[in-house]
Amino acid sequence: MFHNDARDWWRHAVIYQVYPRSFADANGDGVGDLAGIRAKLGYLHTLGINAIWFSPWYPSPMADAGYDVADYRDIDPSFGTLAEAEALIAEAHELDIRIIVDIVPNHCSDAHAWFQRALAEGPGSPARDLFWFRAGRGEHGELPPNDWHSVFNGPAWTRVADGEWYLHLFAPEQPDLNWENPLVRDEFEDILRFWFDRGVDGIRIDSAAMCVKDPELADFDPAAPPTPHPFVDRDEIHDIYRSWRTVADSYETPRALIGEVWLADIDRFAQYLRADEMHAAFNFDFLGCPWDAKALRHCVDATLASHAGVGAPSTWVLCNHDVTRTVTRYGRAETGFEHGLRQARHLTPTDEALGLRRARAAALLTLALPGSVYVYQGEELGLPDVEQLPDDTRQDPIYHRSGGTDPGRDGCRVPLPWSSAGSSHGFSPSGAAPAWLPQPDWAHLTVEAQQADPGSMLRLYQAALAVRGAEAGLGDGPMTWLDTPEQVVAFTRPGGFTCVVNLSTEAVELPEHSAVLLASVEPAGGRLPADAAAWLRTA
C-alpha cells in the first residue's frame, strides 16, 4: 500500500492538520465534511504532505467545535458516516498519506451516554464515578467543591439538578473523566483499537497532560500552584500512555502517539517522549517563539537537547486551530504567541505583507530543521487570522464564557478559500448555505489563484515539500549551526544542504554555494534580503 513503508514515518513526516468544519464543504450546508475532504485529497497529495491529522470528527453537540465528543466510535452526521471515514482512510493510504485521528481523553461531551447515565443514576452510583461528581460546599452545598477555574473562564464546576457538582476543566458541556476508574482506562484502549483496526496510523492526544487529578481536589492559588500540580502533569499520568504505547506497538506496523502537551518545563515535557510512551509531541515553545534569531536558535537548541535525551524526534509547529495565525502574529510588533495575551493583542496593528514575508521564511526554516513538521490548513495559503468577525458569528466557548472580552479562536478557523467558483470562495458548492464562519475577501488567496501564481505561498510550500522529499539529509537527523551575524540563523544538514534565514533588517551575504535550491525571496547579487530564507546546495 505505502510506497514509503518506513515504520518510523513519524520521525520525519510533514503532517497536515485538517480542521474538518472548515476544510471543504461538499453537501452545501456551509460546514466542511468528509466528502469535501475526499474530493481534495489530490490537492494534499500535490502539496506533498505525508500525513493528515483530523481534528475531532465524532458525533458532537459542537459546544467546543467537536472537542466535546458524544461517541468516540462514529462520525458526526454533519461530516458524514463511518463508512465514508473508512473510504477516506483507504484513499489517503493509496496516496501514501498516513492518517492521525484526534483522541480526547480528559473529557467527553455532556451528551455522551456515560454522562447521561451518570445524571440519571444519581449520587453514589457507579456511573457517577466515571466523572468527578462531588457535593458542594456551603450550608446547602450551594458553593462549588473547590476553587478551581476552567481553562475557558469561570468556575470548573457545574451543579446538576440533584445538587451535586461535576468537574469540567473546559466548558460545562465537557465533563472531565475520572482516570482513577479502570473502566475509563479500558474504554479508551478499546477506542484506540477501534481506530487502529480501521487502518488509522496514529493518534493526536488532546490535553494530554491534564487527565489525572489529585483526588484530594484541594483549593490552590493558580498564581503559585503546588508541586505536583493538582491537575497538570502529575506523575501518575505516564501509566496511561505506557498502556497506550503497548496497544500501539501491538500492531504489525506500530501506530504513533502524538501528544498535545503544553508544559513550560522542557524536561518534564520530554518525559512524555520516553521510549515506552508517546512517539512525539507538539513543540509549543517553538510555536510561541518570537521572530528573533537569538530566541529561535535558543529554542531549537533546547528542543534538540531535550529530545535527544529520550531519543525522540523534534517537532516544529507554527500554528494550529487554537492560536493566532502566523501571518497575523509575525506582522505585529510583538511576534510571539501566548494564550494569555490573545485578548491584549487582538486587533493591535499588524502588517500582513511583512507577516507573510516572515511566514514564508519561517516555512523554509521549519521544513529544514531535524524532525517532523505540522502544517495547519491554510498555513500553506498564507491566510491571516480573521480578527473582525461579527460578534454574532463567533462560536468559540472562550468568547462566550469571557462575556465577549476574549475574542477566542474563531479567527483562525475561518473556512478555506478554494476557487472563484461556488459559494464562499469555493468552500461550498454554488447555492450553498453561508459558510459557518464568514470569510473576508480572500479572492487573491484562493488555491486556484495561488496555483496560477509562481510567487505564491502555495507554490512555495509545494516546492519546499518536493525538495524536502528528495533530500535524504532533511527530516530527522543531525544539523550543524554556522557562524553568522546575530540576527541570522544558518545551519547545515547532511548531503551539502544549508538553510539560511535572515531576520535582520539588511540583506546579508550568503555562504558559498553552488546553487540556490529554493528561496522565500530571490537572493540578489549573492545577498539574501531581510526577512527571507534560502535553501542552498553547499557541497
Q: Which positions are annotated as active-site residues?
A: 206, 260
* CA Rg value for the chain: 23
Tell me the closest approach of the beta carbon of residue 398 to ligand NOJ, in angstroms: 8
Interface of this chain with ligand NOJ, residues 159 to 188, rule: CB under 6 A: 170
Tell me the closest approach of the beta carbon of residue 180 to ligand NOJ, in angstroms: 20
d(CA 194, CA 179): 20
d(CA 18, CA 104): 16
d(CA 3, CA 16): 19
At 165, list the grid cell: 457538582
Return the number of the residue (56 or 384) whose C-beta is nearest ligand NOJ: 56
Of the residues 23, 57, 67, 284, which one makes contact with ligand NOJ according to CB under 6 A: 67
CA dist list (Å): 327 to 300, 360, 412, 418, 518? 21, 9, 11, 19, 20
Return the number of the residue (67 or 461) whose C-beta is nearest ligand NOJ: 67
Return the number of the residue (410 or 531) whose C-beta is nearest ligand NOJ: 410
Question: Does residue 104 bind ligand NOJ (CB under 6 A)?
Answer: yes
DSSP 351: -
Of the residues 76, 206, 406, 410, which one makes contact with ligand NOJ according to CB under 6 A: 206
d(CA 223, CA 231): 14
Tell me the closest approach of the beta carbon of residue 106 to ligand NOJ, in angstroms: 7
Angle between helices 352-368 and 457-470 (to 10 degrees): 10
Q: Could you identify the residue written with the cell 500552584?
A: 225
Question: Does residue 207 bind ligand NOJ (CB under 6 A)?
Answer: yes
Tell me the closest approach of the beta carbon of residue 321 to ligand NOJ, in angstroms: 6
Interface of this chain with ligand NOJ, residues 105 to 164, rule: CB under 6 A: none
Return the number of the residue (109 or 446) whose C-beta is nearest ligand NOJ: 109
Give the contact letters, 246-275, x = binds to ligand NOJ (CB under 6 A), - = no: --------------x---------------
Q: How many residues bind ligand NOJ (CB under 6 A)?
A: 9
Return the number of the residue (18 or 488) whose C-beta is nearest ligand NOJ: 18
Strands (E), 147-216: 157-159, 165-167, 202-205
d(CA 203, CA 224): 33
Tell me the closest approach of the beta carbon of residue 380 to ligand NOJ, in angstroms: 20
Tell me the closest approach of the beta carbon of residue 199 to ligand NOJ, in angstroms: 24
Give the dihedral sign, CA 328/330/332/337: positive
Q: Could you identify the residue written with the cell 496510523?
A: 201
Interface of this chain with ligand NOJ, residues 290 to 349, rule: CB under 6 A: 321-322
Return the number of the residue (25 or 322) whose C-beta is nearest ligand NOJ: 322
Tell me the closest approach of the beta carbon of residue 400 to ligand NOJ, in angstroms: 13
At 158, list the grid cell: 457545574
Nearest residue to ligand NOJ on Cβ basis: 67
Contact partners, residue 506, CB within 8 Å, separation at least 6: 530
With H, G, I as helix, E, B as strand and everything else as coil, classify residue 533: strand
Contact 171, 64 (CB under 8 A): yes
Contact 315, 369 (CB under 8 A): no
Of the residues 25, 64, 385, 387, which one makes contact with ligand NOJ according to CB under 6 A: 64
Return the number of the residue (253 or 343) whose C-beta is nearest ligand NOJ: 343
Sites of contact with ligand NOJ (CB under 6 A): 64, 67, 104, 170, 206-207, 260, 321-322
